[in-house]
Amino acid sequence: MVYSYQEILKKYGSRLKIEKAIKSKKIYRLKKGVYSSSDIVNPMIVISKKYKGAIITMDSAFYYYDLTDVIPQKIYVATSRNARKINDLDVVQYYQKDSILNYGKTEVNINGNIVKMYDKERLLIELVRKRASIPFDYYKEIINNYRLISDELDMYKIEEYLSLFKNEVGLFDILQREVF
């Protein structure tokens, strides 16, 4: 289980007891403010615990949903435009308008920990929006995998998410041409 500093403080009662638990390897400090009962933890869980407002997106979510077999070297998160810059070398931060940030946000259970992540429909739209900055082969791999699951996607969600963006018609045309 992964804990924030407040949660571990509540569990152990004092900073001194936390330090003793770390020395005796009852718990492990994974990052500043993030602790675990195990020394090996999925990085998405750690980043979600450390940055509460962040939503897992792009490469990290594509890998989680088995849309690619490329293991991301960093954790990709979406945050509010007003959010503080995340100064973590393990994180790539995308800023989103507050009005669209939470559309498509879902909670997934990874090893008993709840992680906020975009659903497949929102990720498809993000993929198409950012296609110019994604390597072509990588983009094609993910698009091909979306084609394989196109009948599982919720078209109503896709249409709702598309309506949030200015270039809705252009994005819809690309989706029709490349996925459906």
pTM greater than 0.95 (yes/no) = no
Domain boundaries, the chain: 2-41, 44-178
| Span 12-54, pLDDT tens digits | 999 999 999 999 999 999 999 999 999 999 999 999 999 999 9
Assign 144 a pLDDT band (cuts: 50, 70, 90): very high
Tokens at residue 148, please?
A: 């394989």
Per-residue confidence (pLDDT) for residue 149, from 0 to 100: 97
Is the separation of the CB atoms in 30 and 76 below 8 Å?
Answer: no
CA distance 58 to 92: 10
| Span 67-122, pLDDT tens digits | 999 999 999 999 999 999 999 999 999 999 999 999 999 999 999 999 999 999 99
Q: Which long-range contacts (CB under 8 A, 24 or more apart) does 101-109 make?
A: 101/55, 102/55, 103/160, 103/161, 103/164, 104/157, 104/161, 105/55, 108/64
**Cross-strand pairs, 92:** 76
Per-residue confidence (pLDDT) for residue 55, from 0 to 100: 98
